[in-house]
Amino acid sequence: RIDFKIALLTYRCLHCLAPRYLSSLLRLPVSSRLACDRLISMKSRTNTYGCRSFKTYAPQLWNSLPQNVRIASSLAQFRSRLKTHLITVAF
């Protein structure tokens, strides 16, 4: 359930549907060689709570999603594909 919410927030951040303070936590790649739909993963300084922050967990989760989920053209389509993917992974 938390993965669904974080992935949804990440999609909103990437499509300018979220507040700026959240969008500023995500870093897009600048190089043309990297895939444009992937995010740069941030390293956390602490293992106890740093790896659970939005800044570090959201890029890891986003990059682990299949490409057909990440390239959804609308929020409704993304939600549907994400739910299908998460249910498939869980069972």
| Among candidate residues 53, 33, 32, the one with its CA nearest the CA of residue 41 | 53
Q: What is the CA radius of gyration of the chain?
A: 13
85 in Cβ contact with 14 (< 8 Å): no
pTM over 0.85: no
| Among candidate residues 73, 57, 42, the one with its CA nearest the CA of residue 6 | 57
The model's pLDDT over 28-74, given as tens digits with 9 standing for 90+, comes to 766 665 555 666 666 656 565 556 778 888 888 988 999 999 999 99
Q: Can you tell me whether residue 66 is helix, strand or coil? A: coil
Task: Give the domain range for residue 76.
Answer: 2-90
Looking at the structure of the chain, the number of domains it has is 1
19 in Cβ contact with 6 (< 8 Å): no
